[in-house]
A = this chain, B = another copy of it.
Amino acid sequence: MERPIGVFDSGIGGLTVAREIMRRLPHEEIVYFGDTARVPYGTKSPDTVIKFSIENTLFLLRFKVKMIVIACNTSTSYSIELLKGNFKVPVLGVINPGAELATKVTLNRRVGVIGTAATITSGAYERQIRTIDPSVKVFSQACPLFVSLVEEGWLREKVTYEIAQRYLKPLRAKGIDTLILGCTHYPLLKEVIASVMGRSVTLVDSAHQVAAHAKEVLAWENLLAAGKRIPRHRFYVSDESKRSTEIARRFLGRPIRLVKAEHTYV
């Protein structure tokens, strides 16, 4: 029996990552867990984010997953080193792929990062980029209201544009040519962000990169699915409501059935 890939997120934003994995690895089965009962993580402390990330990992390990993908920037920022260090299963996060792509894309070596308060405070992107290429200058900005705007479905409203201007103006002033969307919700605001930043700035959404990275690691570890089966993905959440199903559909780009997970640690 083929083992699935485990993907977790604080909520359902990580479905954008799951979608990319499904696209690039069409014969791999995914078990997704969204911690919708405790979402968001981006406003919470490192200790709490680490605790929740361990619990999510333990939940996925029950499905004998062959890989864990942390599809949440906040969770990756604080917990990836610990998860990698303690669990046998390969663990991938969203920070490294995004940081790598940004250093490849930038021409003027000036890169911006936007994310939740927790992700920005962690300094995880700066550290990662410095490791890859110390010549790149990184400028960061937390955008706490972006997640709420996406969940409200206000993707192209006037106020969304105004809020984006307020958050992004300082980054524009720094003359960056590349901006990492360091939160899985932000790609849904791409239009507004692009219009504020202007055409000369490339937006980096790590979802594609993560899927590519997952494929490489599975190939390297000889863990790719052998058959050509059509996989049956499973999507678990710690809190299930009509509203979350609607938002999930927006993220996955197709109808989805969310199953409330029993025996979580919530």
Interface size class of A (residues with CB under 8 A): 20 to 34
Complex contacts, A39 vs chain B, CB 8 Å: 43
Taking CB atoms and an 8 Å cut-off, the chain A residues in 125-160 that contact chain B are 144-145, 147-149, 151-152, 154, 158-159
A27-54 toward B: CB 8 Å interface, digit per residue (1/0)?
0000000001111000111011000000
In the complex, what distance in Å separates the CA atom of A63 from the CA atom of B266?
23
| A265–chain B nearest beta-carbon distance, Å | 9
Interface 9-mer from A87-95, A168-176, A190-198, A239-247: A239-247
In the complex, what distance in Å separates the CA atom of A24 from the CA atom of B130?
55
Contact A44 B37 (CB under 8 A): yes
Contact A151 B241 (CB under 8 A): no
Judged by a CB distance under 8 angstroms, whether A22 is at the interface is no
Quick one: copies of this chain in the complex? Answer: 2
* A145-B152, A152-B144 known; A239 vs B44 contact (CB < 8 Å): yes
Taking CB atoms and an 8 Å cut-off, the chain A residues in 95-121 that contact chain B are 117
In the complex, what distance in Å separates the CA atom of A239 from the CA atom of B38?
11
- Our pick among B38, B148, B241, B266 for the contact of A148 (Cβ within 8 Å) is B148
| A246–chain B nearest beta-carbon distance, Å | 11
Judged by a CB distance under 8 angstroms, whether A216 is at the interface is no
Judged by a CB distance under 8 angstroms, whether A257 is at the interface is no
In the complex, what distance in Å separates the CA atom of A166 from the CA atom of B153?
14
Contact A117 B158 (CB under 8 A): no
Complex contacts, A148 vs chain B, CB 8 Å: 144-145, 147-148
* 16 residue pairs from A and B, CB less than 8 Å apart: A36-B44, A37-B48, A38-B266, A43-B243, A45-B240, A48-B238, A48-B266, A144-B148, A144-B151, A145-B145, A147-B148, A158-B162, A159-B159, A159-B162, A159-B166, A162-B162
